[in-house]
Structure 1
């Protein structure tokens, strides 16, 4: 069945039985993550909602259990800005011996002032990319044990703001621009999908990058009301502007769920997905429209270089 920009996560997962499958959704307590977790739980998966805020996370898990009728939704505390937190998580999950069939790298931060993670990384590159890199690589034994695992990496059309700066990824020397940094982190999320698939497809692990669309969620929390109005994202009263092409959270989560369950993606990885379809490269000078990406976002040479860089950074934090 074909889906499009108007499809919802519930529609995409309809007809799929995920009984016996284990899924994990980072940032699963709100926004797109909550809708993704709801769809996967509704199809029978055991869903681990991961996030930093325990009270918010426990409340979200309880809500999902009530709404889906499944008691297989749990919250586990995870701080993607802390390699120690990630290490504790991955060691615990691997030690438990449960395969991990679906990992949705959904959590993210967008356009904050210059801040750094606990390990000294610029917060957007450190959280959006390096945190998920450390999480996925730490969970490789569980992903291998699934005998056909899918990793979903949330990218964005913002990748067109720039390629990864391999010489200064953490803005230790360069002037910081919050939107440039966000775009670079989203390019990194797409390149990660290429590199992970290239390295571990033979182990049954594939990864695709997802462009969810434009959706008002907590992701915009670092953008002030005045700036939101200037960008046309909010009306005069600060409410959601009536913008053509924007999606509801349930629609925004549809492509993530499609990446996680679509039968036509069996064994397929290293792609950029948009509106529940495989996007195409855009080689013209103007901005890529819906359904397209800039080629550097899936460049295999850049992907391999980023993987090596990321391995070095997470093993020796503070040196990038």
Structure 2
């Protein structure tokens, strides 16, 4: 298959990608929709006419975000639902409240990055527990709703947010949750982002014939609340900003960072296509040492790794397809 591309690029805004799409009557869920690229993804979809649910942990922040979106849209299209992705009970409650009502778009956007070692309610390492297992459970529990949201000639779509950080680690099957090995916050983040890419491969394999496709999205470098666990000194040392706090060239605004998520959700070039890793509004090239901050490593798209992760995820969450 030829590489999938679009008319858009790295610094296209999310609303530019959504322009021309009529999403009237269509529904979307955006996890982590209260800030960062989540709120801009939700805003672009709402501007195009979609009814968007912001699935958030902090209801107060979610309500403020929904008000901001609705004011900018000039209509009541954004609403809020509570979900804590680090708790399977919370995820199940959210999905139960949604039920089987048609769902056209599920944007698994929320995430945690480079946090100190901690564990979820189910005693899973926090980064893979939240970023992958919580989203896995949510998507599987909403699978019927997504199938109900598939139209003739237009699939329902799942978008799984990954990162170039996946290059830091494949899945470490022998000790996924750091019971024995020393904890490395960036390795743990990388493992979780590899899992997000493999999830799209596994989900698409199971649901494409049922009208639901899934792709993984690398949004690019953006300064958002995702960096909440990083000291300023560390971000300066990594070259993300200078001593004055000025953001490094090449970073995107949150609205630019949301553009590939919106393209993955709406792009006609991706109709019926899934299991891909997307960045800068195009299918990514293979990772290479010459371009270390772009591209995708082979293990993040490996079908056998995806199957192994799916089996582990079913065992861990109890959600069986």
Q: TM-score, normalised by structure 2?
A: 0.94
Which residue in the other structure is 2:46 paired with? 41
| 8 Å CA contact 1:155, 1:209 repeated in 2 | yes
Q: Does 1:305 align with 2:301?
A: no
Shift of 1:257: 0.2
Which residues of 2 match residues 72-221 of structure 1 at below 5 A? Answer: 72-94=77-99, 97-147=100-150, 148-221=155-228
* Separation of aligned partners in 2, 1:153 and 1:140: 14
Which residue in the other structure is 1:56 paired with? 61
* Separation of aligned partners in 2, 1:215 and 1:288: 17
SS in 1 for 2:214: strand
Q: Does 1:255 align with 2:260?
A: yes
Deviation by residue 1:237-294 (Cα, 9 ceiling, x = unmatched): 4x243x2211111100000000000011000000000100011223x5555453x211
Which residue in the other structure is 2:3 paired with? none
Q: Does 1:8 align with 2:5?
A: no
The two structures, once aligned, show a CA RMSD in angstroms of 1.3
Deviation by residue 1:188-232 (Cα, 9 ceiling, x = unmatched): 000000000001111111110001000000000000122122222
* Separation of aligned partners in 1, 2:311 and 2:281: 30
Which residues of 2 match residues 279-318 of structure 1 at below 5 A? Answer: 279-282=284-287, 284=288, 288-290=292-294, 292-315=295-318
Deviation by residue 1:123-172 (Cα, 9 ceiling, x = unmatched): 00000000000000010110110112100000000110010111211111
SS in 1 for 2:30: strand
| 8 Å CA contact 1:152, 1:208 repeated in 2 | yes
More displaced, 106-115 or 162-171?
162-171
Q: Does 1:225 align with 2:232?
A: yes
| 8 Å CA contact 1:288, 1:294 repeated in 2 | no
Shift of 1:66: 0.6
| 8 Å CA contact 1:64, 1:73 repeated in 2 | yes
More displaced, 228-237 or 153-162?
228-237
* Separation of aligned partners in 2, 1:58 and 1:87: 21
Which residue in the other structure is 1:246 paired with? 251
| 8 Å CA contact 1:27, 1:49 repeated in 2 | yes
SS in 1 for 2:272: coil
Shift of 1:91: 1.1
Shift of 1:92: 1.2
SS in 2 for 1:48: strand
Gaps of 5+ in 1: none
* Separation of aligned partners in 1, 2:8 and 2:53: 26
SS in 2 for 1:142: helix
Gaps of 5+ in 2: 1-5
* Separation of aligned partners in 2, 1:269 and 1:178: 30
| 8 Å CA contact 1:155, 1:190 repeated in 2 | yes
Shift of 1:315: 2.2
